[in-house]
Amino acid sequence: MHGVPGSVSVDAQPPMAVPLRHFLLGLVFLIVGGLTAGIHAIGFGTPLFPLSYTHLLLVGWICVTIMGAMTQFVPVWSGVTLHSERLATLQAVAVAIGVSGLAIGFAIGHVTLVAPFAVVLFGGFVIFIYNVARTLAAARPFDVTERHFALALAFFFAATLLGATLALDYRYGFAASTRTAIVTAHVTLAVFGGVLTTVIGALFQLGPMFTQYTETDVDRTIQRIETVVYPIGVAGLAGGRLTAAAAIATAGGLLVALGLVLTGIFLGRCLYGSTVEGTPMLSRYWVVAASMILWPLTAAVAWIDAPLTRTFVLGDPRSGTVLLVGIIGFVVLGTLYHIVPFIIWVHRYSDRLGLEDVPMIDDLYDSRIAAIDFWCVLCGFGLLTIGIATAVPTVAVGAAVAIGGAGLFAYNMIHTVWTHSPNSIGSVPIAPFGKHE
C-alpha cells in the first residue's frame, strides 16, 4: 500500500491521541500566529508584536509539532515503547500555557508578564526532553536519525534555558550588558540547534523511506560528514555569539551552512531518484531541498561579515523567509501531510485491511485542497522573498496569500481528523480512539 513503509514498527507507537493533540494544538498556534503576523503587517501592534507571532509560530506551531512527531516516531522508528504517555500530555499543556502567556505579554507590550510563563514553558520542554531521552535510551546503539534527535534534545534544553533567562531578565534586569549575546545564542540554539537538527535527522529517515530511494555510498558519506560538521557548527555559532568570539562564531556558521547544503543535496538525490508517485509530502520536500542548498550561501556571506549582530542572527535578513518558510515551514507542512493521515489510518483502518474495503492513506485528506494550499504558500513565499530582498511592494500580498494557504492546510488536517474519527474532534486531546481505545 502506498505510504505505509514496511521498515517501521507501528506496534510500538503510542495511542493516537498523544501525537494528535500536539498536531492539533500546533495548528491552532499556526492560525493564531498567522493572524497576528497579518495584523502586524497592516500596521497594528506594539513594538514587541513581532516577538509575539514569532513565538506563536516557531514555538507554538513548529516546536509543538516537533514534540508530537518525536513522541510518535521515536517509538516507531526505534522499536521501543514511549517512556510515559502522561508526561507527553503534561508537556503539551505546559508548553501551550507558556507560549500563550509569552505571546500575550509581548503583544500588549508588558514584558514583565512573560517571566512566569517562560518558566512554565521551560518546564514543559524539560518534561519533553526527559520523556524522549528516556525513550531513546532504550534504542541504543543510535542510528543517524537517533543521534540527531539526541543532539536536538540537548540543543532544546540549552535554548529554552537561555530563553527563560532572558524572560527573567525582563523582570529583574540582571543581564542587561549581555542581553544581545544571550538573545543571539538563544535564537541560534533554538532554530539551528533544536529545530533544524530534528529536521535533518528526520529527513535522513523520511527521504529514502517515502521516495523508496536506495541509498548509495555517496549518500552515506554525506550523512557521515553532516553528522560531524553540523552539530559542531551549531555549538560554535552559539558559543561564539554567547562569548562574543567572532572568529569562532564565523567558523561555526560556515559549518552550519555546509551541513544544510549537504542535507539539501541528500534530499534532492532522494527526490530525483524517487520510484513512487508524487504526494503532497514530496512536492513540499522539493522546496525544502532547493531552499537548503540556496539559503546557506547567503547566510555564509552574512556570517563572515558580521556573525555576532542581531541583524544577522538568522543569516542575511533579505533571505530570512527562505530559512523560515522554505526550509522549516515546508518541511513541517509536507511531513504533516503524511503523519496525520498515517496515524489515523493505522489506528482506524489497519485492522480492517483484507476484511473490507478501506481507504488509502492519501485518500483521507482532500487532494484538491492540498494542491491549492501548496501553490498558495509557494506563491506567497515567493512574493515575500522578492519583496523583502528587493523592496518591491509585494510583502503584504505575499503574506496574505501564504497565510491563506496555511489556513487551507490547517482546515484540511482538522477536517481529516474530524471526518475519520468516530468521536468529536474535541475528544482527541483527552482520549485516544480506534483500536487503543
Confidence band (pLDDT; 50, 70, 90) for 422?
low
Q: Per the domain annotation, does 433 fall within a domain?
A: no
- Whether the CB-CB separation of 194 and 159 falls below 8 Å is answered with yes
Whether residue 194 has pLDDT greater than 90? yes
| Phi and psi torsions of 281, nearest 5° | -65, -50
Instruction: Please state, in angstroms and as integers, the Cα–Cα distance from residue 118 to each residue in 111, 126, 151, 237, following that order.
Output: 11, 12, 23, 24
Residue 1: inside a domain: no
pLDDT tens per residue across span 32-78: 998 888 887 777 777 888 899 999 999 999 999 999 999 888 888 88
Are 229 and 266 within one domain?
yes
Residue 2: is its pLDDT beyond 90? no
CB-facing half-sphere around the CA of 239: CA atoms within 13 A? 11
The rounded distance, in Å, linking the Cα atoms of 229 and 234 is 9
- Tell me if 166 is assigned to some domain: no
User: Which pLDDT value is given to residue 350?
Assistant: 73
**The pLDDT of residue 109:** 84
Q: Are 193 and 152 in contact (CB under 8 A)?
A: yes
Percent above pLDDT 70 for the chain: 92
Q: Same structural domain for residues 292 and 388?
A: no
- 159 in a domain, yes or no? no
Check residue 96 and give its pLDDT.
95
Report how far residue 435's alpha carbon sits from residue 437's, in angstroms, rounded to the nearest whole number. 6
Q: How far apart are CA 167 and CA 173, in angstroms?
A: 10
- Using pLDDT thresholds of 50, 70 and 90, give the confidence band for residue 430: very low
Same domain, 259 and 301: yes
**Range with top average pLDDT, 77-86, 245-254, 419-428:** 245-254
Task: Let me know how long the chain is.
Answer: 437
Domain boundary among 140, 165, 196: 140
Q: What residue numbers bound the domain in which 103 lies?
A: 8-140
Query: Is it the case that residue 317 has pLDDT exceeding 70?
Result: yes
Give the separation between CA 78 and CA 294, rounded to whole angstroms: 32
Assess whether 105 and 237 both reside in one domain: no
Does one domain contain both 334 and 373?
A: no
CA distance 241 to 238: 5
Same-domain status, 328 and 372 = no
Is the same domain home to 336 and 376?
no
How far is 398 from 392, CA to CA, in rounded Å? 11
Examine residue 356 and state whether it is found in any structural domain, yes or no.
no
Q: Is residue 35 part of a domain?
A: yes
Q: Please give the average per-residue pLDDT across 21-41, as a whole number.
A: 88
102-157 residue pLDDT tens: 999 998 888 888 999 999 999 999 999 999 999 999 887 888 999 999 999 999 99
Residue 227 neighbours by CB under 8 Å, 6+ apart: 144, 147, 148
208 and 252 fall within a common domain:
yes
| Greater pLDDT, 357 or 63 | 63
* Residue-wise pLDDT tens digits, 382-413: 999 999 988 788 888 998 899 899 999 999 99
Q: Looking at the predicted structure, is the pLDDT value of residue 425 above 70? A: no
Do residues 30 and 135 share a domain?
Answer: yes
Contact 294, 371 (CB under 8 A): no
What is the mean predicted confidence (pLDDT) over 80-93? 91
- Whether residues 339 and 369 share a domain: the answer is no
What is the pLDDT at residue 12?
Answer: 53
373 & 326 share domain: no
**Banded pLDDT at 346 (limits 50, 70, 90):** confident
Residue 233 lies in a domain: yes
* Co-location of 378 and 261 in the same domain: no
Q: 140, 155, 184 — which closes off a domain?
A: 140
Share above pLDDT 90 across residues of the chain, in percent, rounded to a whole number: 65
Q: How many domains does the chain fold into?
A: 3
Q: Is 354 inside any structural domain?
A: no
